[in-house]
Amino acid sequence: MKKVQFSNFKHKVIFFRVFTMLCFVMLILNAVVSVKLGGKMLSVGEAQIPGSSLNGCIQAVMALIGIILVLTDHKKGLVAFCIVMGLSIVGVVRTIIVTHNLSIAPGAFNAVIFIIAIALISGQIKYSNKMAETDSTTGLLNRYAFDRDMRKVLWQGGKGCVAFIRIEGFSPVNANLGRRYVDELKNVVADRISSVIDSKCTAYKIESAEYAVIFPKADDVEAVIDRTLHSIEQAITLNKDGVDSNCYLAAYAGIADYGESAKDADTVMKHADIAMNYAVKSETEKYCRFNDELKEGMERQTVVENMVKDSLKNGWFYLVYQPQYTVEDKRLRGFETLIRMNVPNGEKIAPSEFISIAEMSDLVLDIDTFVLDRAMREFREVCYSSGNTITLAVNISAKDIARSGFAEKLLGIIEDTQFPPECLEVEITEYSFAEEGNRTIENIKILRDNQIMIALDDFGTGYTSLGQLMNLPINLVKIDKSLIDNILRNDVNTDFVKSIIYMGHLMDAEVIAEGVEHDNQVECLKTLDCDFIQGYIWGRPMEYDEARELAFGVYDRSR
């Protein structure tokens, strides 16, 4: 049932006041007619109209105004109408007493009937509005009520905070237990939110997995939200067929102030939504309060995201290739593919920035597809001419490698480009195994079965256990530049790199060091039995023509 409402609270108030005044004007007109005419007749040309009939018409108009008032505000409208009609009844009774004329007595009876009728209409509207404003699952107020209340407090000049709370973890419960148990979880979450917040605050259920709270004051909001999130994330016991199951949900919140920096509802809700999304994507924060720095960051994110879209559409992306060599004899192993953006306005955007922003959405999947297709088309000739001895390494995002069907997509690109699969090396990070690890491993196994090599970047960052690392089906372990930069600083750093190389070999994989820039680093890596190096000391990233010339030069000399 749709709720009767005004989109603008200010307009609603003005509308209500105008019709209330009109109702009082009709009351005064009714009193004047009663006093002046009483039981007399009003002559209009040849027609004779009884005064009581004129009173009845005026009361009918008042009843219509009463309906409009309760449609605008069922509670205040009923009160205003009862006052007006009550005064009308008093006026009728007074006139009867003074004039001893009972001909206008039906006017009082009509007024009572109108009051009862308007009261019934008001009650029905109240019930309809309650149903329209209440979430049927949790019993909390819903998005309609939140929008109304938000606009109301802003119109009244209030200053406080709004918190959006997002819950994650409903989907596995729905898949394993069913929707009824998800509804039970949502009820528990609603109860826990309501039990923590102050009685002056109001909780709402605004989306399937989102709640909101309006705080009339900004004091201690972060502490309250912290307690709320902690409460939500405690174990929830569900019973199915007599078996108890403990369910755990993840909760994140975004907080936005209203009344000063944000004075309209849309802006406040946008700020809260931005802060909540930041908290969801953050690896360290469970809640975030909107501020200017966050606003600037989100604006920059939007700008870069649009640049990524335009680059994919208009061909502004291009590839460069950094050579990799054997440590022992500086023999060319292959190239790592790196993406760059060439925006027409000349603005330089670092790959670390636009890739991290693309990873927040599915744009990174489009980038992966572009790089795979372009790199394999460009390097196909080089690989065939080298007798399939050149390796082409391509970075794949954690989101892509963990998707169902990724392996099939990659094999399809290989078929389209006619690229030799044994020359391709897919480079992934350890984070790829943090979520959907089983699916990632399934994709890797399919790729390995098709002669594609797998390289592991960010080795040892802690996203997987040592036992899992030892069983990963990989060919190459990459040592990050940050470790190479400090390899000669002290014995601890040297031994740490040595242990990574040892573990890589223990996994039956080769090891490559990234970011090598100095001769003493090369000599150190030789003594540690590192297999390959990649860095400015032997080769900077280069465009395809230069990489092709380098590869063909090596191949020609070998002949």
Two structure tokens written together for 144 = 């309609």
* DSSP code at position 290: -
Q: What's residue 290's pLDDT?
A: 92
**How far is residue 266 CA from its own chain's centroid?**
16
Average pLDDT over residues 344-370: 90
Task: Answer for the pair 38, 50: CB distance below 8 angstroms, yes or no.
Answer: no
Helix 143-155 / helix 9-36 crossing angle, nearest 10 deg: 80
Nearest partner of 125 among 191, 78, 92, 166, judged by Cα:
78
Indicate the pLDDT class of residue 9, thresholds 50, 70 and 90. Answer: low
Q: What's residue 270's pLDDT?
A: 86
Around Cβ 466, how many Cβ atoms within 10 Å? 9
Give the residue with greater pLDDT, 35 vs 521: 521
Q: What's residue 523's pLDDT?
A: 96
Q: What's residue 435's pLDDT?
A: 59
pLDDT digits (tens, 9 = 90+) for 420-454: 999 999 999 877 776 567 888 899 999 999 999 99
**Partners of 48 in the β-ladder:** 43
Question: pTM value?
Answer: 0.61
Average pLDDT over residues 530-546: 96
Indicate the pLDDT class of residue 7, thresholds 50, 70 and 90. Answer: very low
Q: What's residue 10's pLDDT?
A: 61
**Beta strands across the sheet bearing 210-215:** 202-207, 210-215, 160-168, 250-258, 287-289
Task: Answer for the pair 327, 526: CB distance below 8 angstroms, yes or no.
Answer: yes
Q: What share of the chain is helix, strand, coil (3-state, %, to 5)?
A: 55, 20, 25
Q: What's residue 293's pLDDT?
A: 86
Two structure tokens written together for 238 = 């569900």
pLDDT digits (tens, 9 = 90+) for 295-321: 888 788 889 999 999 999 999 999 999
Q: What's residue 294's pLDDT?
A: 85
Q: What's residue 2's pLDDT?
A: 45
pLDDT digits (tens, 9 = 90+) for 446-479: 999 999 999 998 775 555 556 666 777 899 999 9
Give the residue with greater pLDDT, 107 vs 251: 251
Q: Could you give the percent of the chain with pLDDT greater than 70?
A: 87
Indicate the pLDDT class of residue 101, thresholds 50, 70 and 90. Answer: low
Q: Could you give the percent of the chain with pLDDT greater than 90?
A: 46
pLDDT digits (tens, 9 = 90+) for 192-238: 999 999 888 999 999 888 999 999 987 789 999 999 999 999 999 98
Q: What's residue 95's pLDDT?
A: 67
Average pLDDT over residues 521-547: 96
- The number of residues in the chain equals 559
pLDDT at 21 over 60: yes
> Alpha carbon of 146 to those of 35, 132, 134, 297, 431: distances in Å?
49, 12, 10, 27, 38
pLDDT digits (tens, 9 = 90+) for 147-171: 889 888 888 888 899 999 999 988 7
Average pLDDT over residues 161-187: 89
pLDDT digits (tens, 9 = 90+) for 317-351: 999 999 999 999 999 999 999 999 998 888 888 99
Q: What's residue 132's pLDDT?
A: 74
Helix 351-358 / helix 292-314 crossing angle, nearest 10 deg: 90
Q: What's residue 55's pLDDT?
A: 67
Q: Which domains does the chain have, with CATH numbers?
A: 9-133 (no CATH), 143-290 (3.30.70.270), 301-558 (3.20.20.450)
pLDDT digits (tens, 9 = 90+) for 22-81: 878 877 777 776 666 655 566 555 655 665 667 677 778 888 888 888 877 878 888 888
pLDDT digits (tens, 9 = 90+) for 252-264: 999 999 877 667 7
Question: What's the whole-number average pLDDT of the chain?
Answer: 85
Helices (H) and strands (E) in the chain, counts: 20, 17
